[in-house]
Structure 1
């Protein structure tokens, strides 16, 4: 079961080499100048306090507050490169690509940045989380099956019973564990996920009625009410804004 791919596909990223004062991704070096640690600040740009050991800094544009994975990460993600020679080599290539002008360098940097972020996310899922949220939910083998099912097929008419069956848990145990680990009910998470996807689709210019049907709303009116409550803007207004920008 893949816990990351849908999130990576839905929330596109752009990695840019920037000064440390604008960065949220920092590569640290050891005494010999070799990459030794990655520091990622998911919700803060320019928040890293310089130590003199910085080798490279970047800005990761990754859908901001509308990305549930990004908002679920801790304030600082730390990754030890000394125990992972493959990622250490990846970081070295990233440094080389951003160090001098080359044809297609930004494209390569984005792709390598994707690989780097996947490795950071895998590490976070392996460590789990002591705080309720998406990371804690995906780190649980049982809950992750239900969460991935919601991510992959958001338009299905899910019930708590369906999701409990995906998780292999009784309904009461599933609801209890989900609320404790994720910090909200399964249906609340599903509604929020659907609205996040709807927000993206409207910005791309999709029709309100089509988006409502896609995410299992009974009518465009019901969808519009839920969307306006979540984002304080009417779906048609967001769609028009996306069309104007395109």
Structure 2
């Protein structure tokens, strides 16, 4: 029997946790060069009035961001500089964010509550500082995702779907129970919509068909489980494939390597 979906403390559907569980966030302090940017893609600035501004450039996690979008203003100084790298299945969430996020923290008390201890950890390194900094950056990423979903600032795609009052229920169902025997009719029923209305709305909002999204999600789950060392047969069952052979065919078509090879040598997988 399908387990009930997670809810928030106020009883509403939790749209993010099943994805965040599979999101890996790696954080490192970044050097600052003469441009004031260096190799960071995450910054917190302060101006002469001590007003704070948070900047995150998820579009470039492995190197220098576009200087025009992340550099400090003439009256600002850098308080925090870091490089945030996101991997795992939940990376789809990051890809759905705007290319560059710049937030005056005076307007965002929930982000300020995390920014203040980040500034403290950067300014006064102590034992356990790297671990604390890592976890605080993870919270920042989660809160930026929540902000984008609630304000509708994400590009078309997954976050838009999670922001939709009906499509979100179907997406959470897929995320939390990939092995269920989902059909278009069952997903439409979960969303409380007719089959046709659901199919059209899902494609318009998310950018792919419901069954196409389901297939992609199952294979991404499979890749993650194989990389963790799980057996091919158990992964096939977990992800809802009718047999290991059917799983192997779908996996090879998607990633260019059979599951057994991918389990032993994940570097063979295509991105």
Q: TM-score, normalised by structure 1?
A: 0.90
What corresponds to 1:116 in structure 2?
A: 140
Is the aligned partner of 1:218 residue 2:242? yes
Larger relative helix fraction = 1
Q: Which runs of 5+ in 2 are unaligned?
A: 1-12, 32-36
In the alignment, is the contact (CA less than 8 A) between 2:89 and 2:224 conserved in 1?
A: no
What corresponds to 1:177 in structure 2?
A: 201
Q: Tell me which of 21, 25, 31 is aligned to 2:42.
A: 25
In the alignment, is the contact (CA less than 8 A) between 1:24 and 1:40 conserved in 2?
A: yes
Please give the root-mean-square deviation of Cα atoms over the aligned residues, in Å. 2.0
What corresponds to 1:233 in structure 2?
A: 257
SS of the counterpart of 1:196? helix
Q: Which runs of 5+ in 1 are unaligned?
A: none
In the alignment, is the contact (CA less than 8 A) between 2:54 and 2:104 conserved in 1?
A: yes
Which range moves more in the overlay, 177-186 or 60-69?
60-69
SS of the counterpart of 2:24? coil
What corresponds to 1:11 in structure 2?
A: 23
Q: Give distance in 1, aligned partners of 2:23 and 2:147.
A: 19
Q: Tell me which of 71, 83, 92 is aligned to 1:59.
A: 83
Which range moves more in the overlay, 85-94 or 162-171?
85-94
What corresponds to 1:43 in structure 2?
A: 59
SS of the counterpart of 2:265? helix
Q: Give distance in 2, aligned partners of 1:159 and 1:59.
A: 41
Cα deviation per residue 1:67-102 (whole Å; 9 max; x = unaligned)? 211122221123331112342232121121133432
Which structure 1 residue ranges, 4+ long, deviate > 4 Å from structure 2? Answer: none
Q: Give distance in 2, aligned partners of 1:39 and 1:117.
A: 11
What corresponds to 2:162 in structure 1?
A: 138
